């Protein structure tokens, strides 16, 4: 085996090892309880899907509890059934009254708990998706944090409750969250207003163009009439001169 071949082999081996480390890191980093909203528009309703992987090499996931926001509460929460799992929506008193859609709210859903039967607990290399329908979403730009607790059959509980700070590395157990966007109705209103402004502008342009055309037409007509009048005057003068 020559020196060049040995060097090439070492390079390929090192590259493969590095790729394996990166892949393992990516897998570990992505193995979080996360939330995926299908709509984030303020004042609207959304389906939230929580993806829950089993991370224990020896135990199974048997329960998931998701805490709902109490400072910007959901007044409507519905659960999509999951085979082998029971779901409970827990309603409680809010820390302080909150106004939602013009109404004062003192009680609201504060958590949802999913519990598996023995046959449907999540084992190694398995995950499950849990879905909620919620509303109304809070104002644009609000971070909706949904802390979760994942319980294993060995009694251990992993709390996904750490909030990420801007400019800082992602924490080990980040809380599922998302940020609300512009109200669909407000966005539609803005779009309609912009369209109307454009129509007014185009109408003004057409009117201006029409006025310019009529100005040219009337100017030309004036020149023709003026020339005709002048011709008549000159003809009259020539007639009088000839009569003399």
List C-alpha distances in Å: 150 to 56, 153, 173. Answer: 11, 10, 11
- Exposed e or buried b for every residue in 113-137, given b needs 16+ CB within 10 A? ebbbeeeebbeeeeebebebebbbb
The predicted structure's pLDDT at residue 82: 98
35-45: b (≥16 Cβ within 10 Å) or e: bebeebbbbee
pLDDT at position 187: 55
Q: Which of 114, 113, 105 is nearest to 70 (CA)?
A: 105
CA count, 13 A, side-chain hemisphere, 2: 2
- 192 Cβ contact list (under 8 Å, min separation 6): none
Cα–Cα distance, 47 to 63 (Å, whole number): 21
Q: What is the DSSP letter of 146?
A: -
- The pLDDT, as a whole number, for residue 167 is 84
d(CA 209, CA 17): 72
Q: What's the pLDDT score for residue 70?
A: 97
Position 240 scores a pLDDT of 53
Check: CB of residue 72 under 8 Å from CB of residue 110: no
Query: For the chain, which ranges sit under pLDDT 50?
Result: 13-29, 190-193, 200-201, 203-204, 206-207, 214, 216-217, 233-234
Where is 179: in which H helix or E strand? strand 177-179
Instruction: Provide the whole-model pTM.
Output: 0.66
Walk across the sheet containing 45-53 and list its strands. Answer: 34-37, 45-53, 127-135, 76-79
Instruction: Please report the pLDDT score of residue 168 as a whole number.
Output: 86
């Amino acid at each position: 085996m020559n020196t060049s071949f040995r060097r090439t082999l070492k390079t390929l081996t090192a590259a493969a090892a590095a790729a394996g480390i990166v892949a393992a890191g990516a897998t570990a980093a992505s193995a979080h309880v996360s939330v995926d909203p299908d709509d984030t528009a303020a004042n609207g309703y959304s389906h939230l899907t929580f993806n829950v992987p089993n991370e224990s090499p020896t135990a199974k996931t048997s329960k998931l509890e998701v805490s709902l926001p109490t400072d910007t509460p959901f007044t409507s929460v519905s659960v999509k059934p999951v085979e082998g799992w029971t779901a409970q929506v827990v309603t409680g008193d809010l820390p302080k009254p909150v106004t939602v859609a013009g109404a004062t709210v003192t009680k609201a859903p504060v958590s949802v708990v999913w519990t598996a039967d023995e046959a449907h607990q999540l084992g190694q290399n398995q995950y499950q998706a849990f879905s909620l329908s919620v509303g109304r979403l809070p104002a644009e730009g609000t971070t909706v944090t949904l802390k979760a607790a994942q319980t294993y059959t060995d009694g251990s509980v992993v709390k996904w409750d750490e909030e990420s700070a801007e400019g800082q590395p992602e924490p080990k157990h980040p809380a599922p969250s998302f940020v609300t966007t512009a109200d669909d109705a407000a966005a539609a209103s803005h779009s309609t207003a912009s369209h109307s402004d454009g129509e007014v502008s185009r109408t003004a342009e057409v009117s201006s163009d029409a006025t310019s055309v009529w100005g040219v037409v009337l100017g030309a007509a004036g020149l023709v009439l003026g020339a005709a009048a002048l011709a008549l005057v000159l003809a009259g003068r020539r007639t009088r001169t000839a009569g003399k």
